[in-house]
Amino acid sequence: MTSSPSPAPTPTPAPAPAAPLAGRDVVIVGGGSGIGLEVARRAVAAGARVVLGGRNEEKLAAAAQSLGDRAGWAAVDTTDKESLARFFDGIDRIDHLFTPAASYRVGPMRELSDSDAESPFVSKFWGQYHAVKYAAPKLTADASVVLMSGAASVRPPAAAPAYVACNAAIEGLGRGLAVELAPVRVNVVSPGTVDGNLWAQRPAEVREASFAQYGRDSLLHRPGTEGEIADAVLFLFTNTFMTGSTLYPDGGYALR
Ligand SMILES: NC(=O)c1ccc[n+]([C@@H]2O[C@H](COP(=O)([O-])OP(=O)(O)OC[C@H]3O[C@@H](n4cnc5c(N)ncnc54)[C@H](OP(=O)(O)O)[C@@H]3O)[C@@H](O)[C@H]2O)c1
């Protein structure tokens, strides 16, 4: 008995690759140190061009130089709208925007001055809101934006109600901007405690006590690294179906 050859199987289309970063323009407002600089390192290594923004010119110049000739920098203060307008005027196009820039005070409502209590909203919430607003005309049609939050939004580590609320508001802002700016994708990264530049500036005894507490409170019993958070940001840059989401690279802190 003979049988006719079965028809050639229809080839299954290859899965769509995540958007590559080679040749793309990445802007990191708050890129002169910490998580922002770590994102810049990874983006440059993947073939992107990056522009770093921040307030301290010396720090930015040194950071950009460490990244090589695909990195540039310009000064910007996200709490100053004229400064934001100048910064984004100097940029032609943005494929990916990350906005970790912020400086603020954290503490209990009954202890902080009003201006300190308001500082997370002034710097971290409105700073990112206005950064995206001034960047918007330069975003390409398939651009992505990643906002910076913090896992205190879902699990307050201590009495710091304005800071907790600010992070929760940023996660809401990400959802709201995803709706307004589509097809530009907007997501939020909300890390737990990170053993990196920010904590290195704080007194050793405060840092060690916080890291020990975080070890007890999280499922993985340690703070994260800047590289682990940067990897989450690159995922949000490049995964073309992610929008309106918040990722929690926090070692399981929010679950306990
Ligand atoms: N590290 C953690 O444990 C952790 C955890 C959760 C969330 N986060 C969030 O991550 C963000 C950054 O943290 P990081 O760990 O990468 O610390 P970082 O090294 O201090 O990075 C912040 C960067 O933003 C810049 N910056 C601050 N205020 C600015 C402003 N008004 N305008 C422009 N640039 C400004 C700083 O440079 P200049 O001072 O030169 O401007 C600095 O390079 C913060 O929003 C923080 O809440 C951090």
> What does the pLDDT read at residue 1?
41
Is 125 within 8 Å of 164 (Cβ atoms)?
no
Centroid of ligand 1 to alpha carbon of 6 (angstroms):
61
Identify which of 33, 119, 155 to mutate to test ligand 1's pocket (most ligand atoms within 8 A of the CB).
Answer: 33
Centroid of ligand 1 to alpha carbon of 14 (angstroms):
39
Q: Would you give per-residue pLDDT tens digits along the chain (256 residues)?
A: 444 556 666 666 666 667 799 999 999 999 999 999 999 999 999 999 999 999 999 999 999 999 999 999 999 999 999 999 999 999 999 999 999 999 999 999 999 999 999 999 999 999 999 999 999 999 999 999 999 999 999 999 999 999 999 999 999 999 999 999 999 999 999 999 999 999 999 999 999 999 999 999 999 999 999 999 999 999 999 999 999 999 999 999 999 7
Q: What is the DSSP letter of 224?
A: B
Identify which of 28, 29, 35, 77 to mutate to test ligand 1's pocket (most ligand atoms within 8 A of the CB).
Answer: 35
Ligand 1 pocket member 123 (CB < 6 A): yes
Neighbours of 176 (CB within 10 A): 14
Dist. CA 112–CA 165, nearest whole Å: 15
> What sign does the dihedral 110-115-121-124 (CA atoms) show?
negative
Alpha helices in the chain (DSSP H): 34-45, 57-67, 81-89, 114-119, 126-135, 161-181, 197-200, 204-217, 226-238
Residue range 25-194+228-250 in CATH 3.40.50.720:
yes
Q: Of all residues in the chain, what percent are helix, strand and coil, respectively (each to 5)? A: 45, 15, 40
- Closest of 145, 155, 149 to residue 171, by C-alpha: 149
> What does the pLDDT read at residue 32?
98
Distances 7 to 12, 14, 113 between C-alpha atoms, Å: 14, 20, 76
Centroid of ligand 1 to alpha carbon of 95 (angstroms):
21
The predicted-structure confidence for 10-37, as pLDDT tens digits, reads as follows 666 666 667 799 999 999 999 999 999 9
Identify which of 105, 164, 198 to mutate to test ligand 1's pocket (most ligand atoms within 8 A of the CB).
Answer: 198
Is 147 within 8 Å of 166 (Cβ atoms)?
no
